[in-house]
Amino acid sequence: MGSSTDEFDVIVIGGGIMGSATAYQTAKRGCKTLLLEQFDLLHHLGSSHGESRTIRGTYPEDYYTDMVLEASELWREVESEAGYKVYTSTPQLDMGPANDASLKAVIASCQKNSFSFQILDHDEVANKFSGRLSIPENWIAVLTELGGVIKPTKAVSMFQALAFRRGAVLKDNMEVKDIKRDEVRGGMVVYTATGDKFWGRKCVVTAGAWTKKLVHSVTGHELPIQPLETAVWYWRIKEGHEEKFTIKGDFPTFASYGRPYIYGTPSLEFPGLIKIAVHGGCLCDPDKRPWMPGRDLDSLKEWIEGRFLGLLDCSAPAATQSCMYSMTPDEDFVLDFLGGEFGEDVVIGGGFSGHGFKMSPVIGRILADLVLTGSADGVELKHFRIGRFDENPKGNVKEFADQVGFIESPY
């Protein structure tokens, strides 16, 4: 080190969606930015790859709605800058038993945030979706206009390309092993497994499922962020019915509250297939994953058969993919300063708990705000502070059940 080519205003550690969105934001603001990724750029080993992610404005926690609304606007702005689309809009349908606490909280959140919605009963769902979808008599559904599908790998590539266009330096196969304060000059020195080191005035850690390991190796502090491996399943639509479930029509992204929590998207990425998956998985070491954890799919098959009126082949998934979540005890994010000897010079973005991708443009904005100015407008950060786990190991207190289900690893 010593060359100006090794010195930066901001070093972002982790080149998934959150790190790439952050690097885009800092580079856009004129900061000399370095984005470090431990694997190849656009790898499939973490949480930012694959064929689709959903976006929805319906949350039991009312503090996410404004973040999703801002994110939906930022997605369009970034698409305009890039010159291509990664986000396709659809309606969003949330369904479940009428007395489900989480679904009732979704309705209350919509009301509090003046977020337009319709409540549909069994007959209204059948009429709305013309015999393609059914819910039990004692269920309701919440229909909103803000839904959609995001293409994740394409989105990561988009942020990286725009960051590069703005002058950011992107380096892959650079596993960060340590971060130390430069006691002489100030700022941070970042050390990699390859022997390279880089100096930065500030640093942002967005290491996904590896965040806990990296923070512990740097500070000795145990962040309550636990990696979880999850599987995504695609199911074949029976012949002659394929067009009924495509994204080109009015078929929505959807979520079903209860045990298990089930979600899905219209047919888009694979012709004739529709994604329907369980929001959950098994805890794992990100460096020793089981890859495609085994799971009893009987309850999911039963749900598909009941909701989709026999129009899908639910004998077995047609395709399966795997990725990871980074879980916090309360399923809320960590957006905060690392603190301790690093003070406000190192910012952490992690613990996105399987629902952060949709908000990545606004999270990148927030993390850039924090690292460059020490504060972030438009978001109540108390819900995302690390210190909440010191006050209560379970984090934020909620009046409804967790959405993510945990299963025992078969390995």
337-354 residue pLDDT tens: 999 999 999 999 999 999
Pairing of strands 319-327, 312-313: unpaired
Domain-embedded: residue 73: no
Domain-embedded: residue 54: no
Domain-embedded: residue 2: no
Please report which helix (H) or strand (E) contains residue 282, including its range: strand 280-283
Residues 321 and 250 in one domain: yes
Residues 237 and 144 in one domain: yes
* Residue whose entry in the numeric block shows the structure tokens 């613990």: 351
| Whole-prediction pTM | 0.96
Q: Name the domain boundary from 309, 327, 345.
A: 327
Interhelix angle for 360-373 vs 17-28, to 10°? 50
Residues 356 and 319 in one domain: no
What's the pLDDT at 2? 43
What is the domain extent for residue 189? Answer: 7-48+153-225+330-391
d(CA 251, CA 128): 10
What's the pLDDT at 44? 97
CATH assignment at residue 253: 3.30.9.10
Query: DSSP letter string over 185-242?
Result: T-SEEEEETTS-EEEEEEEEE--GGGHHHHHHHHHS---S-EEEEEEEEEEEEPTT-G
- Per residue of the chain (411 residues), what is the pLDDT tens digit? 445 559 999 999 999 999 999 999 999 999 999 999 999 999 999 999 999 999 999 999 999 999 999 999 999 999 999 999 999 999 999 999 999 999 999 999 999 999 999 999 999 999 999 999 999 999 999 999 999 999 999 999 999 999 999 999 999 999 999 999 999 999 999 999 999 999 999 999 999 999 999 999 999 999 999 999 999 999 999 999 999 999 998 899 999 999 899 999 999 999 999 999 999 999 999 999 988 756 789 999 999 999 999 999 999 999 999 999 999 999 999 999 999 999 999 999 999 999 999 999 999 999 999 999 999 999 999 999 999 999 999 999 998 877 765 565 544
Domain-embedded: residue 65: no
Number of domains observed in the structure of the chain: 2
226-236 residue pLDDT tens: 999 999 999 99
CATH assignment at residue 219: 3.50.50.60
d(CA 401, CA 411): 27
Token pair listed for 388:
């909440």
Residues 314 and 335 in one domain: no
Residues 174 and 214 in one domain: yes
Residues 15 and 135 in one domain: no
